[in-house]
Amino acid sequence: LEPKEEFEHSSLAVDVMRPRRSDPALAVLTQEGMTVGEVETLVESTHYSGFPVVVSQESQRLVGFVLRRDLLISIDNARKRQEGVVSASQVIFTEHTPAQAPDAPTPLRLRGIMDLSPFTVTDHTPMDITVDIFRKLGLRQCLVTHNGRLLGIITKKDILKHMAQMANRDPDSILFN
């Protein structure tokens, strides 16, 4: 058996996904309830290329995925061109606009820029299968779930780093840990 391959078979999506236990939580957007200002703050306080959209912080149920670039461009455009869109406007990824206070500012609807079916694997999916999916589908990132709850994200770079780490390991520790 080729040791590297053996390890890849035994590592799981949960071993490679971010965040690690000690990392800050996954940066997610909720499908409603966040303001334009809050979304901008979140996006600008990180360098991530994309953000999962969830039903709510409590449920962590996955709704879609938005790219950082698309978010920033859309918000910028809306602020310039869409009358009434201000920092306090609610950002909405749902199909229908939720009820708002009568004096609430114009909401910003962003469902159009969301990928409605981002690729997901479960936390227990073996990495060799995940790598295969990345290769065959040309993915840039994949989300990781457990019982329908969003747990983390794996990017192409995360996989490449993981493979490089594995290649440097002592074969004994690979086979017997």
Shortest Cβ distance from residue 170 to ligand ADP (Å)? 25
Task: Identify which of residues 50 and 107 has a Cβ nearer to ligand ADP in the complex.
Answer: 50
If you search the block for the tokens 């594995």, which residue do you land on? 166
Least CB distance to ligand ADP at residue 41 (A): 14
Give whole-number Cα distances, 148 to 109, 113, 121, 143, 153, in Å.
Answer: 25, 23, 10, 11, 14
Choose between 109 and 162: whose C-beta lies nearer to ligand ADP. Answer: 162
Residue closer to ligand ADP (CB basis): 7 or 65: 65
The count of C-alpha atoms lying within 13 angstroms of the C-alpha of 107, restricted to the half-sphere facing its C-beta, is 20
The amino acid that residue 53 corresponds to is V
Least distance to ligand ADP from the beta carbon of 45, Å? 11
Q: What are the distances in angstroms from CA 151 to CA 63, 120, 143, 165?
A: 13, 10, 8, 23
Minimum separation from the CB atom of position 4 to ligand ADP (A): 21
Nearer to ligand ADP among residue 51 and residue 93 (C-beta): 51
Is the distance from CB of 89 to CB of 105 less than 8 angstroms?
yes
- Contacts of residue 98, defined as CB under 8 A and 6 or more positions apart, other chains included, come to 32, 90, 92
Of 57 and 97, which CB lies nearer to ligand ADP in the complex structure? 57
CA dist 109 and 95 (Å) reads 9
By beta-carbon proximity to ligand ADP, the closer residue of 85 and 93 is 93
Q: Cite the beta strand spans of 82-156 per DSSP E.
A: 90-92, 108-109, 120-122, 141-146, 149-155
List residues binding ligand ADP (CB under 6 A): 18-19, 26-27, 47-51, 153, 155, 157-158
- Minimum Å gap between C-beta 173 and ligand ADP is 23
Shortest Cβ 109–ligand ADP spacing (Å) = 21
